[in-house]
Amino acid sequence: MKKFIVLSIVLLMIAGFAITLSASTGVWVGIDIKPGSCPNSINLKSKGVVPVAVLTTGDFDAASVDPSTVALEGVLAVKWAMEDIDGDGDLDLVLHFSTQALVAAGALDASSTEAELTGEFDGGQPFYGMNSVNIVKA
């Protein structure tokens, strides 16, 4: 598993500068937006959902993810299930995100080329994944 570090820097101007620096570590996981399709086309006018799979690998079990914490570009999943989405015999976590919620939140727009998935494992450790998207010009 690849690990990552997130650094947050906050500058506050009150009688000078106060700098807050914080760091957290997480795990990079493999994801597949719109599993089985290439490119990962999304129609922003759709009233449906965008499926995203968190893929189980030899080093990572997708069952260790807390689905209630998973967000695509900041929007929480509306439903999820464990299924073998990639045909490798391992169960993957497949989450579904409302297309209209993604649009309303400004998470996806006509210029989007990739989307970020974030969440936590059952123990609270953060994870992160990214995949390309192809916005359908309607």
- Decide if 58 is inside a domain: yes
- Decide if 117 is inside a domain: yes
- Decide if 18 is inside a domain: no
In this structure, are residues 83 and 32 in contact, taking their beta carbons and an 8 Å threshold?
Answer: no
- Decide if 4 is inside a domain: no
- Decide if 99 is inside a domain: yes
Q: What's the rounded Cα separation, in Å, for the pair 59 and 4?
A: 16
**Domain holding 131: CATH number?**
2.60.40
- Decide if 64 is inside a domain: yes
How many structural domains comprise the chain?
Answer: 1
Please list, residue by residue across 57-74, b when 16 or more beta carbons sit within 10 angstroms of its beta carbon and e when fewer do.
eeebebebbebebbbbbe
pLDDT 10s per residue in the chain (138 long)? Answer: 445 444 444 444 444 444 444 445 678 999 999 999 989 999 999 999 999 999 999 989 999 999 999 999 999 999 999 999 999 999 999 999 999 999 999 999 999 999 999 999 999 999 999 999 999 976
- Which domain, by its residues, includes 77? 29-135
- Decide if 120 is inside a domain: yes
pTM listed for this prediction? 0.81
